[in-house]
Structure 1
Amino acid sequence: MNSMFYLHRLKWAGLLLVANAGLLLYLSLGDLKTMPSWSWTDIAGEGGSAALVLVWLGLMLKGRPAGRVTNLLFIGLACLFLSLWMDTLDEFVALPEAWVWDHWLESAPMPVGFVLLTIGIYHWHREQLAINAQMVNRERHFREHRQFDKVTPLADADYLRSQLAAALPEAQANQQPLSLLVLDLDEFHLVNARYGHAEGDRVLQLVCQQMMMNLRRHDLLCRLAGDRFAVLLPNTLEAQAHTLALELTQSIAHLACKSSLQGERIQLRATTVAVMARQDDAESLLARSNLAMARAKQALELKRA
């Protein structure tokens, strides 16, 4: 079973439980219609539509991680399915005409589902725009280079150094600020120890996507080594860089990352630092960022103690 699909097994179980409850409700309160009274056109239209919505649900859950957007899409499609499912049951089971609650079961979930589905698609669209912008940015920078990290779709530390070597003199010549942001995942070795390195690599890929969605179009995200990332921030003052660092820290803390096997929440924390270039070359700026990170980690350990 696809690991991403496995994470959403509880959603499937809940949907099937509600669908079966509706079936049992109709069977217990109504009478089965005879075959000559069946409307095959309605059965094919409503039942076929319900089956197609189930296929959409499966494809969506198979390709998306857990999170708010996935939940919106799932609940929206689930409402559409339940509305069509109850309509289909009405073709086989006759309920007393005086009852009206069955009409609400058939009609009410449909508009709710469309509203939630529209909201989910809107946020999904925004996700894709952010990711596409970063992909375009990386393609522009990397078209003539092969300095890619083997786990994430990011450039490596060597490429960052080459970009710093080019960007620092340009920023000084144009009198524009340039900052460097470094993010380090706290105690990430525990993820590898508990879940294995393959799962750790998958988590790094999710973190990479999360960071890309919180960066600007012209920022350059690279993987320095292991669980440490760096972001080159052109035309960015140190205060702006600190604000962006805080946003990245919060986004990692709220990342809905779950293990592939058990589906349990993998809680992530990150330490971020930001330094603005002064009269630096690439190595001295990296050295200052490493020193700032070491101090931040030391302060974190003292705080925990």
Structure 2
Amino acid sequence: MVLVMALAVLISYQLGSAKALVIIDFYDVLGEASTLILAVLGLLLMVSTRPQGRVTDHFYSGGLILVFSLSLDLLDEFVHYPDDLRLVSWLESLPQPLGLMLIAIGALEWRKEHLLVTRQLATREKVLREHQWLDPLTTLYTARYFHYLLQREISHAAESAQPLCIAHVNLICFSRFNQSYGSHAGDKLLHHVSELISLLLRPSDCVCREHSDRFLILLPNTDYAHARQLLAGLPNAITSELNTPAYLGCQVTLHEVKEHSAEQALNALTEAAAHTSADVQRGITRAARARA
């Protein structure tokens, strides 16, 4: 940005000559300088707060073009150009529509991005935003939030006679992964797993982190068969998309909620998950013995 403004100064003083102070209209200088300063501050704020990507590139490119034109427009108050020179006038006015067009394209892309982010956020927040219940590692909500939301959905399901399912997702041998690659890699994996689960769920669903390598999923208006179909590809997606080691698996346990309280439903899900985990461990042991 500094180079763009320096280029504008260089062009102005190469093609023109400085005006006498007595003929400078400082009210015009104040107005045009304020516009330039606001454009620069807006561009700096956008670049410093947004991640890199196509939207940021459009805003940044359009902003630089506008800063260049506005800089020439301000310098026009200090520099006199020959009457037959039209180049500076063109440089002041012609790039502005291009810069505004790039910013408009960036705004359209930003809207698309916002809709996608909102859809993904819906699987995290559902209907309540309480950031004291937010898990700082995965940015998912915690088991406490899930308990609150589950109780609410149980009441709603009872009134509407709609099915309700919950699911438990457990990463098998995650402790071994931590020991092999370190806790930093383990934290990074958990974050990627949370992002992948959120992406694969429907906007009406909700995923929370229960503890360490365990996640909870709420599936409203979904019976057991449909829930099983929805989550059937989740273990394979986690292991294949994230390129995890062969020993790292994913266990998904489903439970159709018939209980009248969230605590009873979660206890039933925990028991089902424990039975599934025992079966998985027995399968791993048999496989290890067969290889031996």
Partner of 2:68: 82
Partner of 1:96: 82
Asked if 1:25 corresponds to 2:17, the answer is no
Partner secondary structure for residue 140 of structure 1: coil
Asked if 1:43 corresponds to 2:32, the answer is no
Partner secondary structure for residue 208 of structure 2: strand
Partner of 2:184: 192
What stretches of structure 1 of length at least 5 have no aligned partner?
1-14, 254-268, 296-305
Contact conserved, 1:273 with 1:289, CA < 8 A, in 2?
no
* Counterparts of 2:182 and 2:256, CA distance in 1: 38
Question: Of residues 54, 58, 65 in structure 2, which corresponds to 1:68?
Answer: 54
Q: 1:53 to 1:142 in 2, by over 3 A?
A: closer
Offset of 1:282 from its aligned partner?
Answer: 2.1
* Counterparts of 1:207 and 1:53, CA distance in 2: 40
Q: 1:131 to 1:77 in 2, by over 3 A?
A: same
Contact conserved, 1:160 with 1:222, CA < 8 A, in 2?
yes
* Counterparts of 1:211 and 1:97, CA distance in 2: 66
- Aligned-pair RMSD on alpha carbons? 5.2
Contact conserved, 2:170 with 2:215, CA < 8 A, in 1?
yes
Whichever residue aligns with residue 49 of structure 1, its letter is T
- What is the 5 A alignment of 1:2-21? 15-21=1-7
Partner secondary structure for residue 203 of structure 2: coil
Contact conserved, 2:165 with 2:254, CA < 8 A, in 1?
yes
* Counterparts of 1:45 and 1:63, CA distance in 2: 27
Asked if 1:111 corresponds to 2:97, the answer is yes
* Counterparts of 1:290 and 1:76, CA distance in 2: 59
Q: Which has the larger radius of gyration?
A: 2
> 1:189-211 deviations in whole A, cap 9, x for unaligned?
66937xxx9xx7xx95x997898
Whichever residue aligns with residue 76 of structure 2, its letter is D
Whichever residue aligns with residue 31 of structure 2, its letter is G
Q: 1:75 to 1:40 in 2, by over 3 A?
A: same
Asked if 1:219 corresponds to 2:211, the answer is no
Contact conserved, 1:137 with 1:218, CA < 8 A, in 2?
no
Contact conserved, 1:131 with 1:212, CA < 8 A, in 2?
no
What stretches of structure 2 of length at least 5 have no aligned partner?
258-267, 284-292
Contact conserved, 1:79 with 1:109, CA < 8 A, in 2?
yes
Whichever residue aligns with residue 69 of structure 2, its letter is S
- What is the 5 A alignment of 1:251-262? none
Identical counterparts, % of pairs: 29
* Counterparts of 1:93 and 1:248, CA distance in 2: 63
> 1:140-195 deviations in whole A, cap 9, x for unaligned?
3677x97543545532256658877987xx79x8567877778999x8966937xx
Kindly tell me the number of residue pairs found equivalent between the two proteins.
Answer: 250
* Counterparts of 1:243 and 1:108, CA distance in 2: 54
Could you tell me the TM-score, scaled by structure 2's length?
Answer: 0.58
Whichever residue aligns with residue 192 of structure 1, its letter is H
Offset of 1:88 from its aligned partner?
Answer: 0.9
Q: 1:137 to 1:92 in 2, by over 3 A?
A: same
* Counterparts of 1:131 and 1:210, CA distance in 2: 13
Contact conserved, 1:179 with 1:274, CA < 8 A, in 2?
no
